[in-house]
Structure 1
Amino acid sequence: MKTGPDISRIAALIGDPARANILTALMSGKALTATELAGEAGVTLQTASTHLARLETGGLITLRRAGRHKYFRLASEDVAHLLETLMGLAAGSGHLRSRPGPRDPDLRRARVCYNHLAGDMGTRMYDSLLARGFLRRDGAALLLSDAGRDFVTGLGLDLASLPSPRTAMCRDCLDWSERRAHLAGRLGRGLLSHIEGLGWVRRVSDTRIVRFTAAGEAAFDRFFPAA
């Protein structure tokens, strides 16, 4: 196509294996240093710095300085949404980088997708909200219904306190392992943060894995019953 957005530049940035590993590492939502990302990519620090500069110039990551330290993170939730969709496409086409390992079942059950809940538990949450009419469709838009606002408020989440007002309240995100949607947007982010604060889940250090406590899983099943 000779006019319109040039997707080839974005595709080329993501298509390099080292840069793909860097972007995947940043899907945890954490800001990481160049040294940490070099380890994730399996390249030298000098090579990682070159990749990071290209990703920053391409608008896929941002740099934040804290004293002498530099931290990198994904530029936006839109970037995370694109990466998760590409992961689903790759998984569905059989393009897997390695054999599933011991962590694979945990990643598939519950993980962080940038700032919201993904995996089996994420799609269950989404399906439960949709089935009870707490989420509703208006054309292509996904909206929180009045009943949904009452439900979320009853859970203890203050919708007015959610950050990033320029981000949609609710949006679909294609789950790479379940091949179905989970909930993103401000509500998805707020719900994950809220259930962490309630002690239902804890994040596994240096991974995207989220583990439910026994009490947390029981509470999740009560508030988000299977559709």
Structure 2
Amino acid sequence: MAADELADLAALLADRSRARFLLALMDGRAWTSGELADAAEVAPSTASEHLTRLVRGGLLVERRQGRHRYVQLAGPKQARLLEDLLGYLGPTEPAKRTLRAAAASQALRRGRTCYDHLAGRLGVAITDAMTTRGLLTEDLAVTDDGLTWLRDELAFTPPTTRRPLAKACLDWTERRSHLAGTVGAHVCAHLRDRDWVRGVGTGRAVRLTPAGEAALHDLLGVSVA
């Protein structure tokens, strides 16, 4: 029954350590059980038990390589669920307002990955620029001009998958939508492959490189301070 499934999902999320695991995995990478245990500040045995529940509940997938157990989000659907929940909560401040925590919070707001696409001010700025140029409609559907631009400028080929080509994803820090879907993932991958964006620290914050600033200005007129 739907009520039972909803209750089971809520129970999976209703634990602070499991919530920390899921937020860490929002960067789209595969993490080891030990890395997640350190991130959540729990014992490895405790982390293993929580991760097993998340895998069985369909939120995570796992694979083993040698002695290591790697886990990551099961897919874009699960990432979208987490981002929507964060959007419902609204911007939050770190519990400990240390200088390090404040810097990390600001870095996430400037730019970050939301599973496999860009979010934060950077993601919203790119989305706005593509909309202004007529590459996306107001509800973030890709236009014919957009497909031509993506093919010519970003070497994009529409894949034959069931994943939406483009969709709006509510940005939990900017309170506006950024671009998700296949196109959003391709834009993020394209910028990373060309070293136009780089990760900041070990989390999911990203920043534009000088080459990236110049490229986005040339391609879309984006100016991100």
TM-score normalised by L of structure 1: 0.88
Distance in 2 (alpha carbons) for counterparts of 1:191 and 1:225: 15
Distance in 2 (alpha carbons) for counterparts of 1:181 and 1:40: 28
1:117 is matched with: 118
Which amino acid in 2 is paired with 1:42? E
2:142 to 141, 144, 147: 144
Distance in 1 (alpha carbons) for counterparts of 2:140 and 2:128: 13
TM-score normalised by L of structure 2: 0.89
Which amino acid in 2 is paired with 1:78? K
Distance in 1 (alpha carbons) for counterparts of 2:213 and 2:9: 39
1:159-178 superposed matches below 5 A: 159-160=157-158, 165-178=161-174
State, as a whole percentage, how many aligned pairs show the same letter.
Answer: 40
- The Cα shift of 1:142 comes to 4.4
1:44 aligns with 2:43: yes
Distance in 2 (alpha carbons) for counterparts of 1:70 and 1:221: 42
1:81-96 superposed matches below 5 A: 81-92=80-91
- The Cα shift of 1:180 comes to 0.7
Distance in 2 (alpha carbons) for counterparts of 1:96 and 1:15: 19
Deviations 1:101-126 (A, max 9, x none): 11221111111111111100101111
- The Cα shift of 1:5 comes to 6.8
Q: Contact between 1:124 and 1:224, CA under 8 Å: does it hold in 2?
A: no
1:103 aligns with 2:101: no
2:216 is matched with: 220
- The Cα shift of 1:223 comes to 2.0
Q: Mark the runs of 5 or more structure 2 residues left unpaired by the alignment.
A: none
Q: Mark the runs of 5 or more structure 1 residues left unpaired by the alignment.
A: none
1:153-192 superposed matches below 5 A: 153-160=151-158, 165-192=161-188
- The Cα shift of 1:9 comes to 1.6
**Greater than 4 Å deviation, 4+ residue runs:** 2-5, 94-98
Number of aligned positions between the proteins? 220
Q: Secondary structure of 1:63's partner? A: strand
Cα gap change, 1:98 to 1:166, in 2 (>3 Å): farther
